[in-house]
Structure 1
Amino acid sequence: MRFAALRQRDFGLLWWAGLISLTGNWVLSVALPIYVLQLTRSPAAVSLIVAAGLAGNLLFGAFAGAYVDRWDRRRILVLVNVLQALLLTPLLLVDSADRVWIVVVVAFGEQALEQFSKPAENALLPRLVTGEDLAAANALNVLNNSVARLVGPALGGVAAVTIGLHGAALLDAASFALAAALCALIRGRHRADAIGSRHLGRELAEGVRYVGRNRYVLAVFLIIAISSVGEGIMGTLFVFYVVDGLGAGGRELGWLMSAQAVGGILGSLVAARVIARFRPTALIMTSWVFFGLVDVIIFNYPRWDTTVWPVVALFVLVGIPVGIHVSAMWTLFQLETPDRLRGRAFNVIWMGAALAGILGTAIAGPFGERIGVLNLLTIQGAGCVVAGLLFRLVAGRGPASLRPAEPDRPASTVDAGRSTVS
């Protein structure tokens, strides 16, 4: 792992802000459904909260990217983190089942605000590091996501039984406030290049057209959309895999989630070095195909045995290519997408992912019963193999490396319109 990017002051501030706020999010995401279930004894109440978050994602994700491309990205991150901290405070009023509606409103609002912060962070990152450090910076971002995923759920479980929802909400609010303070210390102005006339419809259409025209960005869109269908299936059926397939329980479920986070950490630690040695499109394809093949083994393992520790080891293994291909994909996206379009193009990709995730969830219910949980999860794994091959087909041979044409220039100044699909 190349940690030099963290010594660049402004990127270091962004990195620590992300790690702190993500960890706080994981704490609340574990404590919140436990507390709501205790109050209501209703799985429907928990699913309503999930649905509210998805609604915020879809409604605001449709246009948030256009404003990210209009406004200063650093200021967006500061403001959104402050608003997210404030929005959590009504959770302190939730102490009975008849106040769970407050949780639903907060879940909607938090996800709506996140549709501004995620593309803003992705668009800001290339401005804070030199081009030759961009891949390492993205690998470090994958590292902090994996560390937060490893630490946050464990803290959330402890919070649920010690300080409850109110304490977890205050902890998450404090993490957002600290993240806002760190982002405020980032130097300079970070507004995108001029975008000409400001007409929301035309701006959004320009982002969609760009994703469709640039073969590399289109390949990223497709691979994330296909994998998101699988994520929707996984999110619905994974607990059945653990309980019915392996004959295990909640403790083992936690082990497997943590194991994949450990794999993601290991992958991110070697990502920059691996990315520097291989052609990016071939590397992304290979990592994704490997991920899918290991998934197929994992979801067929209960047909042979139900001992849990080999599955834990396989989950560590399957997390490693994630740390590599996620770093490579976002570096490719950032180099290929002009600064003035990054917010919109990013949100087009994640809107596709959100819709695909809903489709996966819709498939999982009826087809999980009809063709069997293990069979459907096996198809999901095979789908990742297909996604990797499709990525290579659409992206083609690709650039020789993930380095900008002029290594000493900031990545945000690289003209990325050179490879398009006619």
Structure 2
Amino acid sequence: MTDRRQPGEARESVGFGTLLRGNADVRRLWGGTVVSLFGDWFNTLALYRLVLDLTGSEAALGGVFLTKMLPLALASPIAGVLADRLDRRRLMIGADLVRAVIVLGFLFVRDADDLWLLYTLGAAQIAVSAAFTPAKNAVLPLITKPGELLTANALLAATWSSMLAIGAAAGGPAVDAFGTDVVFLLDAATYLVSAVFIFRVRVPATDLEDDDEPRQSVLRVAGSKVVEGWRYVLARPAVRRISLAKATWGLGGGGLVFVLALLGNNLFPSAGTTGIGILFAARGLGTGIGPILARSLFTDERRWPLVLGGCVIASGLGYLSVAAVVDYRWAVAACVVFAHAASGANWVLSTTLLQERSRDAFRGRVISTDWLLITLVESFSIFVASLLLEAGVDLVTVVIGFALVEVASGLVWIATVVPAEARWRASPETEPGR
């Protein structure tokens, strides 16, 4: 199990190679993540292409983004309860198997009248994923040794990003060359491979909730357990503050990620899905670089709250630069890399703090609360962006507007959270502990 340190205590982390060579369980969890994410990004580009081809509507494309967000928000509270009450390894395997079946349903989407099916299947896929994510993040501190947790988080964050970059770069041409059906079949297969990897992960016994209620009552008591988890977060300001870090980025970031698909379509009009893939690959490259740099540069945890706000500001400035160079394709891609390097650093540092500040019995619900907040905020941001574009607002104007929201959000974070964190570190006994 990972180490527990006092606020401000120096942090030492092992290298990526040492982690993968020395920790077989992290290696297996990482292997499953690699293959499933690769298929997911192929799948995502296929859905974007399918909707644009069937409808040509920005609002319809926004609907795809929302099906990737809202179901996650709605399912996350229950998913957190499941992650805190059930065998997390089995929960992840079950989620992989169910998702493999769900994505095969996309094969039946053939025309605009089938759009309801696409949205329904997309929502179901993400809702099941909501159970996988808190289980994975709650397991990670249990299978890491002292000095490994930050590296493991950085590795998984960089993997998400690398698979976004590779999947987007390869997925665009694959969709154009082979069609969406082949991509959906590939995605289903990757879930099966992921399940095999996770089956081999050994998770030690933990202090998961084990009350006197029978296992079959999980759903019946879920509501009270969700509320209990929220109370845990609300009663601990040190946890509550960090649970807002990703959502602070999402206020502007959700709309900005949405417009990436349209920017790619407009900047590379003759490239088909490949144009969208180029900018999403740039996003993946950035979010891969960010966690690695954060792990190397910000070893003093006392600076992390300031870094989190600074990353939000930097991400907004990156997208303001996109608006300034929008006529230059590769300059846009470079700005996207910079913007998402900042968001990736925010992600991995805030995730590590949440994992370390939460009791294991509540960690799944803490992580799911974090996901609930970011997905609700991003969904709202995407919805507003899609309405503005559908109403005829210029794409560059939308980019500028949401980038300014991003900068303002980061400034508010620094003005409010950083002083509160400094007071807590000076007198940690004034706030409830784990």
TM-score exceeds 0.5: yes
Equivalent pairs: percent with the same residue? Answer: 24
* 1:158 corresponding residue in structure 2: 173
Question: Comparing 312-321 with 44-53, which one deviates more in the overlay?
Answer: 44-53
2:337 corresponds to 1:316: yes
Question: Comparing 249-258 with 330-339, which one deviates more in the overlay?
Answer: 249-258
Change (3 A) 1:191 1:330: same
CA contact (8 A) 1:36 1:45 kept: yes
- Cα distance, 1:121 vs structure 2: 0.5
- Cα distance, 1:184 vs structure 2: 0.3
- Cα distance, 1:126 vs structure 2: 0.7
2:174 corresponds to 1:187: no
CA contact (8 A) 1:28 1:169 kept: yes
Change (3 A) 1:90 1:81: same
Aligned residue among 216, 225, 248 for 2:238: 216
The 5-angstrom pairing of residues 118-129 of structure 1 reads 118-129=133-144
* 1:80 corresponding residue in structure 2: 95
Change (3 A) 1:129 1:72: same
* Secondary structure in structure 1 of the residue aligned to 2:16: coil
Question: Comparing 114-123 with 377-386, which one deviates more in the overlay?
Answer: 377-386
The code of the aligned residue for 2:18 comes to: A
| Whole-angstrom distance in 1 between the partners of 2:284 and 2:327 | 22
CA contact (8 A) 1:92 1:169 kept: yes
* Secondary structure in structure 1 of the residue aligned to 2:280: helix
- Cα distance, 1:304 vs structure 2: 7.8
The 5-angstrom pairing of residues 367-382 of structure 1 reads 369=393, 372-373=397-398, 374-382=400-408
- Cα distance, 1:307 vs structure 2: 3.8
* Secondary structure in structure 2 of the residue aligned to 1:132: coil
- Cα distance, 1:206 vs structure 2: 1.6
* 2:19 corresponding residue in structure 1: 5
Q: CA RMSD in A?
A: 3.3
Deviations 1:52-103 (A, max 9, x none): 4444223322322111100011111111101111122222333344444432
Change (3 A) 1:179 1:266: same
The 5-angstrom pairing of residues 297-376 of structure 1 reads 298-299=319-320, 302-303=323-324, 306-364=327-385, 369=393, 372-373=397-398, 374-376=400-402
CA contact (8 A) 2:249 2:312 kept: no
* 1:234 corresponding residue in structure 2: 256
* 1:258 corresponding residue in structure 2: 281
2:286 corresponds to 1:271: no
| Whole-angstrom distance in 2 between the partners of 1:339 and 1:28 | 33
- Cα distance, 1:305 vs structure 2: 8.1
Change (3 A) 1:399 1:151: farther
* 2:222 corresponding residue in structure 1: 200
The code of the aligned residue for 1:173 comes to: A
Paired residues in the alignment total 402
Deviations 1:165-198 (A, max 9, x none): 2211110011100000000011245565235365
| Whole-angstrom distance in 2 between the partners of 1:347 and 1:222 | 12
* Secondary structure in structure 2 of the residue aligned to 1:341: helix
The code of the aligned residue for 2:432 comes to: T
CA contact (8 A) 1:74 1:190 kept: no
CA contact (8 A) 2:320 2:403 kept: yes
Change (3 A) 1:92 1:417: farther
What are the ranges of 5 or more consecutive residues in structure 2 without an aligned counterpart? Answer: 1-14, 214-220
- Cα distance, 1:120 vs structure 2: 0.4
| Whole-angstrom distance in 2 between the partners of 1:380 and 1:300 | 13
CA contact (8 A) 1:149 1:261 kept: yes
What are the ranges of 5 or more consecutive residues in structure 1 without an aligned counterpart? Answer: 401-415
CA contact (8 A) 2:70 2:379 kept: no
* Structure-2-length-normalised TM-score: 0.81
- Cα distance, 1:331 vs structure 2: 1.4
Change (3 A) 1:191 1:67: farther
The code of the aligned residue for 1:232 comes to: G
Change (3 A) 1:43 1:271: closer
* Structure-1-length-normalised TM-score: 0.83
CA contact (8 A) 1:68 1:116 kept: yes
Question: Comparing 345-354 with 18-27, which one deviates more in the overlay?
Answer: 345-354
